[in-house]
């Protein structure tokens, strides 16, 4: 089994400073197609920003369930391996449903042979479907970190030079 992850934070610039990069449609489409071609089981797009994860989710939704799926079903199929998560640890814990051959299992209980039978199992067992749903929501939308140190953050910000709108520090006068 092969799993890959595209990390958008921390990313180091050429000076060694930690940066965060944006998720792009190229990241999603190109890596998903390459993953499908080379038999990658899961592609994780890792980004700490909830807004960036939301953008990625909207792009995936368009191609997986929206009109994009009808327009290009091959792209939809390639995107099935893609997951968006806040950090690498959540990506590692993501393997909720196991697949062995054609059998799908959850917590050691076989749900069915083949995707359609597994869907029928979930329809017949709404408590299991709800548990899986809740675990997925917790992975995709983790709680925001506590913000109990605003004074320390504002002090650190005061020490750093302000930006001039182009991503560069203003020259000191």
Average pLDDT estimate for 135-145: 59
Q: What is the pLDDT of residue 162?
A: 47
Domain count, the chain: 2
Residue finishing a domain among 77, 94, 111: 94
Of 96, 88, 69, 70, which is closest to residue 80 (Cα–Cα)? 69
Q: What does DSSP assign to residue 163?
A: B
Q: Are residues 51 and 18 in the same domain?
A: yes
User: pLDDT tens digits for 91-125?
Assistant: 555 667 777 778 888 888 888 888 788 888 888 98
pLDDT score for 136: 67
Q: Give Cβ neighbours of residue 49 (< 8 Å, ≥ 6 apart).
A: 9, 20
* Model confidence band, residue 131 (pLDDT cutoffs 50, 70, 90): confident
Residue 165 lies in a domain: no
- Give the pLDDT band of residue 147 (cuts 50, 70, 90): very low
pLDDT at 40 over 70: yes
Asked whether residue 104 falls in the same domain as residue 19, the answer is: no
Q: How confident is the model at residue 90 (pLDDT cuts 50, 70, 90)?
A: low
- Identify the burial level of 111 via C-beta atoms within 10 angstroms of its C-beta, where 0-12 means exposed, 13-18 middle and 19 or more buried: buried
The first and second tokens of residue 151, run together, are 């004074």
- Residue 168 domain-assigned (yes or no): no
Cα–Cα distance, 8 to 47 (Å, whole number): 5
Rounded CA-CA distance 150/152 in Å is 5
DSSP assignment letter at 65: T
Contact present, 112 and 104 (Cβ < 8 Å): yes
pLDDT of 80 reads 86
Question: Same domain for 82 and 111?
Answer: no
Taking alpha carbons only, the member of 73, 64, 16, 23 closest to residue 44 is 23
Write out the residue range of the structural domain in which residue 120 sits. 96-146
């Amino acid at each position: 089994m092969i799993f890959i992850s595209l990390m958008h934070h921390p990313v180091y610039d050429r000076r060694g400073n930690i940066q965060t990069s944006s998720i792009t449609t190229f990241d999603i489409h190109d890596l998903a197609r390459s993953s499908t071609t080379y038999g990658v089981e899961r592609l994780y797009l890792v980004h700490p920003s909830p807004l960036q994860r939301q953008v990625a989710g909207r792009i995936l939704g368009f191609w997986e369930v929206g009109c994009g799926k009808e327009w290009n079903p091959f792209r939809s199929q390639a995107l099935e391996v893609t997951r968006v998560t806040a950090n690498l640890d959540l990506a590692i814990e993501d393997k909720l449903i196991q697949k062995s051959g054609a059998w799908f299992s959850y917590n050691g209980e076989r749900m069915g042979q083949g995707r359609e039978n597994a869907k029928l199992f979930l329809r017949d067992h709404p408590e299991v479907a709800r548990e899986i749903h809740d675990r997925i929501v917790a992975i995709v939308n983790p709680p925001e970190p506590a913000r109990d140190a605003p004074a320390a953050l504002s002090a650190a910000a005061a020490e750093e030079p302000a930006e001039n709108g182009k991503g560069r520090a203003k020259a000191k006068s």
